[in-house]
Structure 1
Amino acid sequence: MATLKYSRQRESIKEFLMTRKDHPTADVVYENMKKIYPNISLGTVYRNLSLLSEIGEIQKLSNFGSADHFDGCVEPHCHFMCTTCGDVLDLETEGMDDLIEKAGRNFSGKITACDIRFFGTCPKCMNK
């Protein structure tokens, strides 16, 4: 694979995601990048999010019932989606490797990863 040319905008998008725990959509990333790069286009943000996801620098979270969300943490962890407000949050979990091992006991293939999603009401909505 060819070496990827450095991009300040792409690096800024990655850094922005690394500071977040709320898994923003591309539109939220775009609105925040416009503050730094007033001339950045939504297409540039989408292309960079797609590229960062493809090369494993960020996670793209799809199928949460709405727009894709993006996560700067690529370490194995679970996610929670609030069915009231739609926020997607990290769940700090232990034992992901144990879960993969247990799931593989009755499976003749090889499990290399898992993606666990929980749904319910977040603390913010519970306190309303």
Structure 2
Amino acid sequence: MKPLKRMTKQRKIILDVLQSTTCHPTADWIYEQARKELPDISLGTIYRNLQHLVQEEEIQELNYGSTFRRFDGNTGLHYHFVCRSCGQVMDVDMPVLRDLNGEAAQVVGGLVEDHRLEFYGICRSCLDKNQGIEEKKECLT
């Protein structure tokens, strides 16, 4: 069992921001939202606390390369869809394939404890626009 870590005011606000949205925001977006509660909070504080919350498994970090880090307040096992056109990241509402862990374990000959799965393609909004380009969603900037 992990020792309990102190939940600072800044950490609590960041966690609340993440748990109140489903848009998988960037640190910059979280910073803008947190400033509504704590105007003097710094971007460095946001980054430090995000890393702490990831290490404590309070949130998930979705890392899609050096320029594409997003955060998710939902720590339960679930899948994501990433739009290659607008960059939106969304949860995929489908059952988690728990048997996949066992199948992978047989192939690798070891213990598979968890898995992460992302789907990539073009979201409905981009398809509907017929040109494949959508203005960035509010939480992507």
Structure-1-length-normalised TM-score: 0.91
Tell me, yes or no, if the aligned pair for 1:61 and 1:70 is still in contact at 8 Å.
yes
Q: How many residues align?
A: 128
> After superposition, where does 1:1-128 map in structure 2 within 5 Å?
3-63=4-64, 66-128=67-129
More off after superposition, 53-62 vs 1-10: 1-10
Tell me, yes or no, if the aligned pair for 1:64 and 1:81 is still in contact at 8 Å.
no
Distance 1:30 1:110 in 2: 38
- 3-state SS in 1 of match to 2:108: coil
More off after superposition, 81-90 vs 61-70: 61-70
- 3-state SS in 2 of match to 1:119: strand
More off after superposition, 62-71 vs 25-34: 62-71
Runs of at least 5 residues in structure 2 that lack an aligned partner in the other structure: 130-141
Which structure 1 residue ranges, 4+ long, deviate > 3 Å from structure 2?
none
For residue 120 of structure 2, what is the amino acid of its counterpart?
A: F
**Structure 1 residues 2 and 81, CA, compared in 2 at 3 Å: closer, same or farther?**
same
Shift of 1:3: 4.4
Shift of 1:65: 6.5
Shift of 1:2: 5.9
Structure-2-length-normalised TM-score: 0.83
Structure 1 residues 48-77: Cα deviation after superposition (integer angstroms, max 9, x where no partner): 100000010000010257331000011111
Tell me, yes or no, if the aligned pair for 1:77 and 1:96 is still in contact at 8 Å.
no
Matched residue, 2:138: none
For residue 50 of structure 1, what is the amino acid of its counterpart?
A: Q
Distance 2:71 2:124 in 1: 21
Distance 1:95 1:82 in 2: 20
Runs of at least 5 residues in structure 1 that lack an aligned partner in the other structure: none
Distance 2:95 2:7 in 1: 35
Shift of 1:10: 0.6
